[in-house]
Amino acid sequence: MDFKNEAASRLHALLSKDGAELSEILSAIETPPDPAMGDYAYPCFKLAKIMRKSPAAIAEEISRKIPPDAVISKVAAAGAYVNFFVDKTLFARAVLSRVAEEGADYGKSAVNAGQTIVMDYSSPNIAKPFHVGHIPTTVVGAALYKIFRFTGADVIGINHLGDWGTQFGKLIVAYKRYGSRAEVDEGGVTELMRLYVKFHEEAEKEPAMDEEARAWLVKMQNGDEEALSLWRWFNDISLAEYKEKTYKRLGIDFDYYTGESFYNDKMADVADELSEKGLLKESGGARIVDLEEFNMPPCLILRSDGGTLYPTRDIAAAFYRKKTYNFDKCLYLTCMDQSLHFAQWFKVVGLMGYDWAKDLEHVPLGMIAFEEGKLSTRKGRVILLNDLLDDAVRKTLGIINEKNPGLINKEETAEAVGVGAVVFANLYNGRARDVCFSWERALSFEGESGPYVQYTHARARSILRKSGAAAGDIDYSRLSDAESIEVISCLAEFPERIEAAAREREPFLVSRHLVNLCQSFNKFYNKHIVLTEEAEIRKARTALVGAVSVVLKTGLTLLGIKAPEEM
């Protein structure tokens, strides 16, 4: 039973004559901050103009006209709100039995069924180390990928690798001058980065090296086998390292690793079509699309030397994705400061006459920063992601050795908790907010953190192992106390939070809800004994604990975080 719908239907029966739609009423219903105020609340502010009364008077009138019944036990006005109290026994039975029946599928829906969503996220630059700046797009993208699939969408995850451009000309020059195959094979991306830095250091003394690098890029563009062979080698080394050392560790994979180079033979068509449609103009030797009437700078399509730019590549990629996947939405997860870039080329696609330009969506992300003195591993001015993860795991293992030295599989648990702490810290706030990473907050077992959620899940699993399954009929009236109902209300809201996370492209709505559930559960656990001698109470409370463990694991999984059985 959907109790929110039950409340909405009773309101609709009264308000439909005033033009109120059931969907509008449903979306307006809130959950009161204090359970003592009711289970659901309807604000009457918008009705004031229609009914020509104060919101408080309207709330009082509505509450008198909705009689209590077997589902809604009480309706009361509180200021401008109509508060609904549901039958606690019926509520507990409906929620807990549904979680028990659906298990890991609880919260799954079909709200996005029939939708094809292409997601472009992570997208590091080849031949450069995977650094912490890639965390937001990588973990937010991975979480949204799972959330969209959980809500019924057909999701296609694409890693649009930065695998083409002048950087490879520079790398080839540096390799031929200062490197060797053996050193690159052994050092991998770290050695490639060393060579790249070496190029810039030496080019300051010898500016002609820049011309040499551009010459190698031209060779690549013209299909020179030596240049392409080196380029492919650098790419293969980088991608293998990203997959094995980073993505595997984060539990992330992609449907396609199609980088910028994939669209090299598709960009000429973009420029030709823009020219044919009269959209391409010359400006200082370059070719642009003028966007002045839309209050945007011009969108550069071709450089004065005929070379392509990021907008050209992105437009070509969008055409390919629409033709290949026929998406309903194509999402681009990048930092906030690229918003103008996406707005420009989205507008160009629209000016070309393609109505699906409206289905292109930039999902802006904040940046990650660090508290001074919290990190010990720095490589130049770059903080490597795997160094950060190693540090998190090492610190977590230290906490485990201090608090639970006898834990089996300590290293495996430390990996799950340490990596999970870094991921959760980047998913706990709105995606567009900058994140200031704090070790103290991220690794806390008591605060609003990944380890706190994981530890609460492990505590629930431990209780269940000691209690055994809640077999036989359950007397749900034993769960009518305020603490139990608060937990059950959190469980009931979980499906709604997932749908909201998908709709708003905000995984933090799930992470925040998990923390709320943990706080409610720990309040319940600290006040009520689960492993009591009284069989009926034990059974009912065990059912509640079981539902909490299911939802916490599902939520963590959607966020890309493991849920250890013991900690």
Active site residues: 128, 131, 134
Cβ burial of 285 (10 Å; 0-12, 13-18, 19+) is exposed
Helix H or strand E segment including 330? strand 329-335
Helix H or strand E segment including 310? helix 310-325
Give the amino acid at 518: C
Cβ burial of 162 (10 Å; 0-12, 13-18, 19+) is middle
Tokens of 60: 């009082």
Strand order in the sheet with 154-158: 154-158, 116-120, 329-335, 360-365
Closest-CA residue to 418 (of 250, 565, 551) = 250
Give the whole-angstrom CA distance, residue 340 versus residue 243: 31
CA atoms within 13 A on the CB side of 274: 27
Give the whole-angstrom CA distance, residue 501 versus residue 509: 6
Give the whole-angstrom CA distance, residue 324 versus residue 469: 49
Q: Which residues contact 400 (CB under 8 A, 6 or more apart)?
A: 407, 410, 413, 414, 417, 567
Contact of 59 with 44, CB cutoff 8 Å: yes
Helix H or strand E segment including 545? helix 535-558
End-to-end CA distance of the chain: give it in Å, rounded.
36
Closest-CA residue to 135 (of 145, 143, 147) = 143
Please identify which residue in the block is written with the tokens 């995606």.
431
Percent helix, strand and coil across the chain, each to the nearest 5: 60, 10, 30
Handedness of CA 108, 110, 114, 116 (dihedral sign): negative
Tokens of 395: 């610190």
Tokens of 441: 């907050």
Give the whole-angstrom CA distance, residue 370 versus residue 161: 26
